[in-house]
């Protein structure tokens, strides 16, 4: 099962031994994929590729409880590996956002994912709500509540009616998770909430900036008239 990492072992053998930095951890606290609980994971080896842009770090661990192995990945974006959070690459983690997110949004999102891995559903929806709150603060810094922030984002055209509806449901779910009500939050509620949150983040932070760039590129080469949508009912030529 290690063949996927063959190139890394080979590369490791050829590289001069890196002096272990004092900050190199001997164990990390992450959710074990096998125990499905937060565990102390013993570090067997840390392998760094300092010349990559950005420098990469691979941490080989095994669980202190069940002994199953895993590999975690971090990057050094200029302020040290410790500023990045661990992302599990073996066994592969299903949820991962590879595009830029503001620090507070990313931290809350990753906490929500950790709660999902640990099967703590109530905590998961609360962290989904916190991520949404961080998004609102990014776009509407004066908003005092998520509700106020979402409404302002909608009225400014930052989110569509559909996204507003999705986000509002997540806000309601977060309230249920955060307060001692009799409502139960189950696995479907939590995983669906994370799915909708991911879609919202993807539209706001990945697809929208990508589309703006795409549009600007094509505006330079195409006449404005060719970009007007054909009227309803008329046969479109293309």
CA distance 1 to 187: 30
Pairwise CA distance, residues 146 & 165, whole Å: 13
Which residue matches tokens 């200029």?
78
CB of 161 to Zn ion, least distance (A): 44
Any residues with CB less than 8 A from the CB of 42 and at least 6 apart, and which? 26, 27, 61, 62, 63, 64
Nearer to Zn ion (CB atom), residue 60 or residue 166: 60
Nearer to Zn ion, 62 or 151 (CB): 62
Name the site residues for Zn ion (rule: CB under 5 A).
32, 34-35, 63, 65-66
**Contacts with 65 (C-beta within 8 Å, 6 or more apart), sequence order:** 32, 35, 37, 39, 40
Q: Which is nearer to Zn ion, 18 or 67 (CB)?
A: 67
Min CB(160)–Zn ion separation in Å: 42
Q: Which is nearer to Zn ion, 65 or 222 (CB)?
A: 65
Q: How far is the CB of 68 from Zn ion (least distance, A)?
A: 5
Residue 69: exposure state from Cβ atoms within 10 A (0-12, 13-18, ≥19): middle
For residue 22, the minimal CB distance to Zn ion (Å) is 28
């Amino acid at each position: 099962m290690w063949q996927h990492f063959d190139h890394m072992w080979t590369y490791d053998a050829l590289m001069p031994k890196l002096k272990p930095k004092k900050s190199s951890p001997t164990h990390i606290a992450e959710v074990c994929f096998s125990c499905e609980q937060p565990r102390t994971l013993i570090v067997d080896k840390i392998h760094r590729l300092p010349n990559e842009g950005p420098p990469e770090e691979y941490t080989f661990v095994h669980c202190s409880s069940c002994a199953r192995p895993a590999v975690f990945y971090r990057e050094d974006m200029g302020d040290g590996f410790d500023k990045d959070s661990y992302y599990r690459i073996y066994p592969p983690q299903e949820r991962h956002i590879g595009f830029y997110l503001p620090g507070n949004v990313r931290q809350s999102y990753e906490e929500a994912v950790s709660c999902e891995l640990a099967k703590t559903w109530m905590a998961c929806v609360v962290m989904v709500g916190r991520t949404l709150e961080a998004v609102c603060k990014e776009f509407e810094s004066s908003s005092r509540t998520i509700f106020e922030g979402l409404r302002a984002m909608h009225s400014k055209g930052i989110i569509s009616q559909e996204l507003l509806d999705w986000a509002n449901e997540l806000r309601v779910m977060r309230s249920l998770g955060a307060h001692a009500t009799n409502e139960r939050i189950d696995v479907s509620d939590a995983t669906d909430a994370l799915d909708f949150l991911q879609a919202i983040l993807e539209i706001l932070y990945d697809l929208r900036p990508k589309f703006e760039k795409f549009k600007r590129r094509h505006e330079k080469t195409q006449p404005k008239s060719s970009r007007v949508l054909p009227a309803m009912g008329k046969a479109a030529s293309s």
